[in-house]
Structures are given as C-alpha cells and as structure tokens.
Structure 1
Amino acid sequence: MLRSSGRFGQLLIVAVTTTATVAGCTHSVGGTAQRAESEVPDPERSYGYVDDRCGLLDDGSVQDILQADEITRPYSGAVCQYILSRPSGAGSQIVDVTFSWFDTGSLDRERELAEARGAVVNEVVLERHDVFSARRDITGAACSATAAAGTGVLSWWVQFRGVSTGDPCAEAEKLLSATLRSDM
C-alpha cells in the first residue's frame, strides 16, 4: 500500500512541477496580427523587353495564361503590346493586352491617376504584394493591375475589344501574379 501512495506522490509532484513550468513560460502579447508581406522586388531588375520577354514573361506564357489560340506582339520595350485571339461562343474574341514598366514612380501616383481618369479602383493582394486594379470600360471591358517594382511600378492592362462584359481585372491580375512569381 505504501508503494502505491509513493507513486501517487511522485506523479503529483511531476504534475505540479509541469503545470508551474508551463504557466511560468506563457505570456500574452498585445497588438493585431499582421499579414507577412514581400519586399518590393529587386530594385536593380529590368522588367522591360529583354531576351524576347516582356515583364519577365515570354509570349507563350502570356498566351497560356489568357488561354488564347493566337498571339501577336506588335511592339516591345518598356511597354509591350499584344493582340490575342481566343475562342468565344460561336466565334473568337480579340483581347488587347499591354504591359508597362516605369523604372521610377509610385503605386500611390498611379492609383491617383487611375482615379482621376474615372476608373473604379480596388485594392488587391497578389503574391503577398499590395496591388490595385483599375477598371474603366470605354471601348470594351478593360482593367489594369498595378504593383510596385523596384524603384517604380509595373502594370498589365487587358481589354476585351468591343465587348462590355466579362472580367478583364481577373485576366490582368493573372498576368501580374505570374510576373511577381517570376521575380521571386
């Protein structure tokens, strides 16, 4: 009988010691949890036309992301223009796409310009980067997605030619997301 109470006593001492240790190691921290954000991509990186790529994406990547049958790039440089054709209902849809990179500038300035031009601006987070989309339908459903990049900004703009429906913001965000992933 004495043995049983001895074991019980040992267990009681272990339990009390463990509880005291755990209680002594815990503490509360004030504040609000914050989402981890990536730093601005490499300030020395060029997002312009390099090695047959615009914004770090080659033509095939742009074509795949937007699920196009055909792609033409009539101009390349700090601004790259694309014309894509993809199936749509009984025919095909023409999609105009522009990539732009300005090696100086700010996200705030670009946002202010978009708002001044009457675009509907929405804040978005892509690949842990603050981004805004700016939708402005004038000659078709159109939207851009813009992010800070190094010392400047980069943007993808998508317009469904002659069509006022659809979600060009989702398309622009896919391209921008792929660019930001390529920079990691």
Structure 2
Amino acid sequence: MRWRVGRIFVAAVGTMLTVAGCAQTVDGNAQRALAGVPDPDRNYGYVDDRCGLLSDDTIRVTLAAENISRPYSGAVCQYVLFRGEQTIDLTFSWFATGSLDRERSLAAERGAEVTELVVERHPAFTARRDVTGAACSATAAAGSGVLSWWVQMRDESGGNPCVDAEKLLSATLQSDL
C-alpha cells in the first residue's frame, strides 16, 4: 500500500513501514495570516460616556498626562491633554461603514507619510503629517468600519506623536465593555 500525504510517501509491506520525504527551502519571513477583521460585529462608537470604549482616565493614564479635558463628544470625540509643559490635542473617530483603503488614500492625498502595520491583529496604518505641530493618526479596520486616533503635539515640530496614536489604538482594540 502507498499513501501520498503532501510530498511524503508511505509504503507498508507486511509489518515493515518505509517513509520517504523531501524538503524544500523557501525564502522570506514568517507572518501571521490575517483573515480579515477579527471582530466584524463590534461597535466602537460613543457608549456610556466613553469614546472608543475608553474612559477619559484610561486615555490620561495611557499617555502619562497630568490633566485631560473633553470639550466635545459624539460621532467624533475631542480631547486636550497636558503632559508637563506639553499640550496635546486628540481626536477619536469611528466610521461604522468606513474603509481602511479609503482612509489610507485620503491620508496619502493630503501628503501624509503612511506606514503600514498590524495592531492587535487588525490591519492598520499610521499617517504622519506635521503642518501646525507634530501630528500623526493611527487607523485600523475594526468592527464593520474603521477607527482612528489623531494625536497632535500643539506648537511642537519634534517628537513622535505616532507612538501615542498607536498606544491609544491598541488600548481601544483591547478594550471590553
């Protein structure tokens, strides 16, 4: 008897078993498969006085800020944080029927430096654009659409706001209600 399993051949004769196989070397780096958005039915909107499922205090702690205020909440939430002498503007948005490709195209059209990444198993990207201060958004496919955190260091040209935007995006994707 012979069975073929992939490239391995097995031959059984009486009580004796013979196994033969072959190997092949493949170039490249191993990567986890992305089977689409891991949470297609999840809602990341404004719920129970939380934007993106995060409380104001969670946002403050995540970015190591001393103070936080939220001047606007709704379809888009805006925050002002104070970290030492630094003033940081934040904006959270979740578009229930949005598309990651559309958001990426818009960021590129506006002259942003787009970097592809994966955050908490979600396809994502950052978009860095320093016009009125160091600014970056981190955007991911989530639920039925896309969510995004925009971080801008007010009146600063240095620093890396993408780190803070990614932290908020990760915290949002990990959050539970």
TM range (shorter): 0.7 to 0.9
For residues 42 and 140 of structure 1, do their structure 2 counterparts lie closer, same or farther at Cα, with a shift above 3 Å needed?
Answer: same
Distance verdict in 2 for CA 1:162–1:150, change over 3 Å: same
Among candidates 34, 37, 41, match of residue 37 of structure 1: 34
Can you give the 5+ residue segments of structure 2 that lack an aligned partner in the other structure?
1-15
In the alignment, what sits opposite 1:85? 82
Whole-angstrom distance in 1 between the partners of 2:24 and 2:100? 33
For 1:75-121, what per-residue CA distance to the aligned partner results, in whole angstroms no more than 9, with x for missing partners? 1112110000011xxxx100000000001121000000000000000
User: Which residue of 97, 101, 122 maps to 1:104?
Assistant: 97
CA distance in 2, matches of 1:29, 1:129: 31
The amino acid that maps onto 2:70 is R
Cα distance change, pair 27–62 in 1 and its aligned pair in 2 (3 A): farther
* Percent identity (aligned): 65
Counterpart secondary structure, 1:108: helix
Q: CA deviation at 1:64?
A: 0.5
Deviates more, 1:34-43 or 1:159-168: 34-43
Please state if 1:46 is matched with 2:43: yes
Instruction: Please say if residues 156 and 175 of structure 1, whose CA atoms lie closer than 8 Å, have aligned partners that are also in contact.
Output: yes
Is residue 60 of structure 2 the alignment partner of residue 63 of structure 1?
Answer: yes
Corresponding residue of 2:88 = 95
Of Structure 1 and Structure 2, the greater strand share is in 2
CA distance in 2, matches of 1:41, 1:99: 20
Which segment is superposed worse, 53-62 or 31-40? 31-40
Residue 157 of structure 1 pairs with residue 154 of structure 2: no
Distance (Å, rounded) in 1 between the aligned partners of 2:129 and 2:60:
23
Q: Are residue 114 (structure 1) and residue 107 (structure 2) matched?
A: yes
Unpaired segments of 5 or more residues in structure 1? 1-16
Note closer, same or farther for the CA distance 1:38–1:162 as it changes in structure 2 (3 Å cut). farther
More helix, by proportion:
1
User: What is the Cα deviation at residue 130 of structure 1?
Assistant: 1.4
Give, in whole Å, the separation in 1 of the partners of 2:144 and 2:46: 17
Aligned residues: 160
Q: CA deviation at 1:29?
A: 7.9
How far does residue 27 in structure 1 lie from its aligned partner after superposition?
6.3
Given the two structures, how large is their TM-score scaled by the length of structure 1? 0.78
Note the C-alpha offset of 1:41: 4.4
Asked whether the 8 Å contact 1:125–1:131 carries over to 2, the reply is yes
**What whole-Å deviation, never above 9, does each CA across 1:134-155 have from its counterpart, x for those lacking one?**
0000110000000011221100
Q: TM-score, normalised by structure 2?
A: 0.81
8 Å CA contact 2:42, 2:144 repeated in 1: no
One of 72, 75, 86 as aligned partner of 1:75: 72
